[in-house]
Amino acid sequence: MKKYLLLFTLLIVNISLSQTIRDSIIPDIQVNSAQRMLEKTNTKLTIGAYGEITYNQPESENGELDIQRFILMFGYKFSNKVQFISEIEIEHVKEVFVEQAFVNYSVGDNISIRGGLMLVPMGIINEFHEPTTFNGVERPSLENKIIPSTWREIGIGVNGRFSNISLSYQAYIFNGFKSTEADGEEIIGLLKGDSGLRGGRQKGIESTVSTPTFSGKLDYYGILGLRMGLAGYFGKTQADDDIEDINGATVGIVMVGFDARYKFQKFEARGFFTYTSLSDTDAYNELTGKDLGSVLMGYYIEGGYNVLPLKAKQRLVAFTRFEQYYTHFKTEVNTLKNDAFNRTDITMGLSYHIVNGVVIKGDYQIKDNALSGAEINNQLNFGIGIWF
């Protein structure tokens, strides 16, 4: 693992030294749907959408065709200072969720107050998951198993920029993950070793709140085409009223992440590293019978190159992504470490942007884990993505 972290560090240093021009306008690849709607100050009502249709073909299994998600976006400008942003998500044609719904109040040039259902600022994909903004039919597995994208909760906080030093900031108080719930006499654990915290997302659905959590992020954008982020998430999980005082019903969380994205001419690269420490997992596992790890760790690095001429209206990006993620990086004494949760994915493919806002993707994934004798199917993927 150390050699890959060294390569990632050298890549970021090399990128940082290659350009020294101030970035006054963030490239489109580093803007998400909410930012785009907030920037449209010349209209009252803003409507948009993004979505993706995918085909997944594991080796030795039937393939799957799916409209994974279709999102309708609505924004409304009440005044020059107050805007409302929302996203309604339809997953697999049958499930409907509210992905975002918040009010943004611009107090001044460099500070806004934001409240409602919002994305937690951690990693890359959780905030920038529109299908035309990332390579690969499927999102990186790390930003599913450890960063449970799409991760959103209800909260309030501030965001803005220190323009003189090219630094943007976000700081929010959210309700947290739910770790346990009561079902009559039974206590059900929602967190587990395989998927970490993912099962505890409350998504703004009658969310239980016992203690608030804090989330913050700093992004540096002072080098042309480069954006680097440092994020943190701190607090405890939530539990139902009648069980929250039971030992093991809640778990402490300290999550940190460092991400970088870069685009210059034909070349693009990105990388992400995260480390999550969980406390009281021994008591939680004893209470619920689960196998939650005490430390979750993962990283990925990706490089891409546009093989078409720069003057062409279309882009054809060939890319490779290496990722390793381990949801049992550390476990308590009474929890047996499972090497099947030490996973490695290598994804190689093409992203063909036939016009701005439409992409056709194809890739092949080589999957492995550290469990001796494990047999994991590699996978071929194709997809169509749109964003407008």
The domains of the chain are located at 2-387
Which pLDDT tens digit goes with each residue over 266-307? Answer: 999 999 999 999 999 999 999 999 999 999 999 999 999 999
Distance CA 260, CA 276 (A): 18
pTM of the model: 0.89
Give percent above pLDDT 70 in the chain: 92
Which sign does the torsion angle of CA 16, 19, 22, 23 carry? negative
Give dist(CA 7, CA 266) in Å, integer: 21
Q: Is the pLDDT of residue 249 over 70?
A: yes
Cis peptide before 150, with omega less than 30 degrees from 0?
A: yes
Residue 17 predicted with pLDDT over 80: no
Name the nearest CA neighbour of 54 among 125, 131, 129, 126: 131
CA distance 180 to 373: 34
Cβ-based neighbours of 9, under 8 Å, separated by 6 or more? none
Q: Which of 79, 174, 53, 76 is nearest to 121 (CA)?
A: 174
3-state secondary structure of 284: helix
The per-residue pLDDT for 3 is 45
Residue 29, pLDDT score? 53
Predicted local distance difference test score (pLDDT) of residue 378: 97
CATH superfamily of 2-387: Porin (2.40.160.10)
22 has pLDDT over 80 = no
Residues 6 or more apart whose Cβ sits within 8 Å of residue 322: 4, 300, 301, 302, 344, 345, 346
CA atoms in the 13 A half-sphere facing the CB of 195: 11
Rounded to whole angstroms, the Cα distance separating 236 from 200 reads: 12
Q: Give the mean pLDDT of 244-262.
A: 96
Helices and strands (H and E) in the chain: how many:
4, 19
Query: Model confidence over 169-210: pLDDT tens digits?
Result: 999 999 999 999 998 889 999 999 999 999 999 999 999 999
pLDDT of 151 over the 90 cut:
yes
Lowest-confidence pick of 17-26, 178-187, 367-376: 17-26
Q: Would you say 235 and 280 are in contact if contact means Cβ atoms under 8 Å apart? A: no
Please state the rounded mean pLDDT for residues 351-355.
Answer: 97
